[in-house]
A and B are shown apart, each in its own frame.
Chain A
Amino acid sequence: MPDSPLPVVAGIGLRAAHMAQVRAEHPPTGWLEVHSENFFVDGGPALAALDDIRRHYAVSLHGVGLSLGSADPLDKAHLGNLRGLIDRIEPSAVSEHLCWSHVDGRHLNDLLPLPFTEEALTLLCERIDAVQNALGRTIMVENISSYLRFSCDAMAEWEFVAALTQHAGCKLLFDVNNVYVNAVNHRFDPRRYLAAISGDSIGEIHLAGFDSSAGCLIDTHGTRVAPAVWDLYRESIERFGPKPTLIEWDTDIPALEVLLDEAAKAQRMLEACHAVAA
């Protein structure tokens, strides 16, 4: 089932710490998302575990290293690895980030911020087109958290994201936590962001926790979703309609039950939203 879309329910990000338990217990969660690069391997137990997971769940492949926004050429080897993994896993969705991470061949292996310029927008459109052609499918790109802005910005982040989804032919992976983090860090009203985005462009929503440090919010994925982010999530699905929603947790990973509990909360909000729509 290569092209079956993600179910419009809540899912969780699956990390190595929970792999054995999920395989043994098959907890009731709508779908699972993994980081693509963790499975860029030739063989071994991690890949075998993902094969097994795929037999029981819809899986989304979420990339962190393709660096769509680099002035460097696209990393063909990376793209080849992704293509190989897609062929093997037949995921329901494939996503990446609106960021850059390598320059002059050096990878910084982090999600780094782009200036919101015409040059960056044009480059991203070209890159996303090339990636979608190489993979033979539509991808989603996620808005990231950031801790600075550049004086060369020609537009607001939401204008940049909206223009991209209009022109690049991709879907948006709308990270509500990242919108909130940026709204605090860069002092804007997150509702302006929501107002600029079209619900049809959104293929998936991410929720996660942040930490506060040195005067700004840091997107650590290391805590429960903050109350203000839940509020923004409810507003988002009321505005955009229900969307497949993921709970992400990457540092200080708690018991699986905590993630499932957060996903159940998202699921209740989705169902309330479905009920209103029906």
Chain B
Amino acid sequence: MQSLRDLQRSFCAATLFGDPVALASLGIVGGRLDPKARIAVYRNNVLGNYRKAMAATYPVVQRLVGASFFAAAVDYFVRGYPSKRGDINRYGGEFALFLVSYRPARELVYLPDVARLEWAIDQAAIAADAPPFDLEALAAVPPSRQAALRFSLHPSLRIVSSPHPVFRIWRANQVDQCGEDRVDLGEGGDTLLVSRGNAGVSIERISAGERAFLAALADNATLAEAAGRAQEVEALFDLAATLRRHVAGQTIVAFRAP
């Protein structure tokens, strides 16, 4: 008699990959429906669960390609990128990577970056909370010591860069359609900051300098070092205004003195 492990392996192979040898080895019994039809019920349930979960995470990708194209892509993705968790909500982080080499979608060159943006939005929504910034403590730091401070970013923060206008594409494909109808793919790329505040997850465009600044802070650089890296890519980088905006917007949530 086959072991429980062998039975579960065969079940997986028959359900996900349609393996006829595995199906036969399962010893499925029952009248009316044959074993193939019975395992098909599970295939439909399993793939249906993934399609639903992925559509919840990637609604704009689904809108861009249509429901049946999306379902076929998810079915293919599931076979090559096994789910590693018992929590289906967290599945699908490699979808952008998959789409890069998914031949049926290769003409939609912006699609992987739209997926990257949607994954960042999804992750931002469930990231850890952070207490509000202690402005009084910051005000008490003497100006001469400010340059050596290090800052922490909100755990929800994600930066998504693309050579394509993914922000416009994303906005034009919202259900409540808050953007323009037509997007000129030649109009240039976006660097986007995704973060979660009191009003939920928001997306904003940031400059190259701002991106370098936030990446440096995330990398544990001091304020002076981060400002330096921002100025390397953006000569007119406004440190004071940028810092003020991110502290007020709760994307920068804490600081540490040396």
Contact = CB atoms under 8 A, between A and B. Distances in A.
A102 interface: yes
B87 A65 contact: yes
B256 interface: no
Nearest to B28: A148
Contact of A149 (B30, B86, B91, B128): B30
A43 B4 CA distance: 37
Nearest to A36: B87
Interface residues of A, number: 54
A184 to B, nearest CB: 11
A147 to B, nearest CB: 4
A45 B124 CA distance: 11
Contacts of A237: none
Contacts of A37: 86-89
A147 B37 CA distance: 10
Contact of B155 (A43, A106, A112, A214): A43
B143 interface: no
Interface residues of B, number: 51
B3 interface: yes
Interface in A46-72: 46, 48, 64-67, 69-72
A251 B191 CA distance: 37
Contacts of A213: 41
Give the residue among B2, B5, B31, B35 with the most A Cβ atoms within 10 A: B5
Contacts of A216: 32-33, 38, 41
19 contacts: A42-B127, A42-B128, A44-B126, A44-B156, A45-B125, A75-B85, A78-B86, A107-B83, A107-B84, A107-B85, A109-B53, A110-B42, A114-B4, A119-B3, A148-B42, A149-B30, A150-B7, A214-B41, A216-B38
Given A100-B8, A103-B11, A107-B82, 15 more contacts: A41-B126, A44-B126, A46-B126, A71-B3, A106-B82, A107-B85, A108-B12, A109-B50, A109-B86, A110-B45, A147-B38, A148-B30, A149-B29, A152-B1, A215-B33
Interface of A: 37-38, 40-46, 48, 64-67, 69-72, 75, 77-78, 81, 100-110, 112, 114-115, 117, 119-120, 123, 147-152, 185-187, 213-216, 218
